[in-house]
């Protein structure tokens, strides 16, 4: 796991990349990450932590980011990768993939949270960065909307679990579906509620 580089002065003209994830906590589905380099000549009003925005607002802003940002990319780490390497390492892998998919080399990477992904650029983890740095806010919006769309699509492929409504999170609805149906192929076997279902040991799910 890459250690964050100490903060260093970055020229005003530098390419700053904001990075955030969506889907660390759910019991099912890939973890998504987005990287965004905003264009100061094409500002976007209303950027904020995606969790604080209504769905319709997130969707509108996601469209604006894709059009107005200088560069953006969304990447994932699969359920298999999550189960093999743990959710933190898989999240950092998804972040690294998003950064590398930008098509340009950022001078600085600003990441929401405490950890830096394994990329060959100066990285600055920022706690609550999705509320403090516009580019991270934009990344949080792209990651969240992309993952939500994916879970809605998977709802049709795996009916009965309610993925379109809870997006794979550990809700009473989701736990009840796990109890009735057992896990499907997009459930994270390394997460305790799923693992307990596979063991037919359900007292902690009630």
- pLDDT 10s digits, 111-136: 999 999 999 999 999 999 999 999 99
- pLDDT 10s digits, 64-84: 999 999 999 999 999 999 999
- pLDDT 10s digits, 12-56: 447 999 999 999 999 999 999 999 999 999 999 999 999 999 999
Quick count: other Cβ atoms within 10 Å of Cβ 3?
A: 8
CB distance 126 to 133 below 8 Å:
yes
Q: Buried b vs exposed e over 131-149: b needs ≥16 C-beta within 10 Å?
A: eebbbbbbbbbbbbbbbbe
Assessment of whether the complete model's pTM goes beyond 0.85: yes
- Return the CATH architecture of domain 16-146: 2-Layer Sandwich (3.30)
CB distance 83 to 169 below 8 Å:
no
Quick count: other Cβ atoms within 10 Å of Cβ 42?
A: 11
């Amino acid at each position: 796991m890459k250690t964050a580089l100490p903060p260093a002065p970055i020229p005003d003209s530098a390419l700053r990349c904001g990075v955030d994830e969506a889907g660390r906590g759910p019991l099912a589905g890939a973890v998504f990450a987005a990287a965004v380099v905003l264009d100061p000549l094409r500002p976007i009003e209303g950027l904020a932590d995606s969790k604080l925005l209504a769905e319709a607002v997130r969707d509108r802003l996601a469209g604006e980011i894709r059009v107005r940002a200088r560069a953006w990319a969304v990447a994932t780490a699969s359920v298999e990768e999550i189960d093999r390497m743990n959710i933190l390492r898989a999240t950092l892998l998804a972040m690294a993939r998003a950064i590398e998919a930008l098509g340009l080399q950022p001078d600085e990477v600003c990441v929401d949270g405490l950890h830096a992904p394994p990329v060959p650029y100066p990285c600055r983890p920022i706690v609550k960065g999705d509320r403090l740095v516009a580019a991270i806010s934009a990344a949080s919006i792209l990651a969240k909307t992309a993952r939500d769309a994916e879970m809605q699509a998977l709802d049709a492929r795996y009916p009965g679990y309610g993925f379109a409504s809870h997006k794979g999170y550990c809700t009473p609805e989701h736990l009840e579906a796990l109890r009735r149906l057992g896990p499907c192929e997009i459930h994270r076997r390394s997460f305790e509620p799923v693992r307990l279902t596979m063991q037919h040991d359900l007292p902690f799910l009630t």
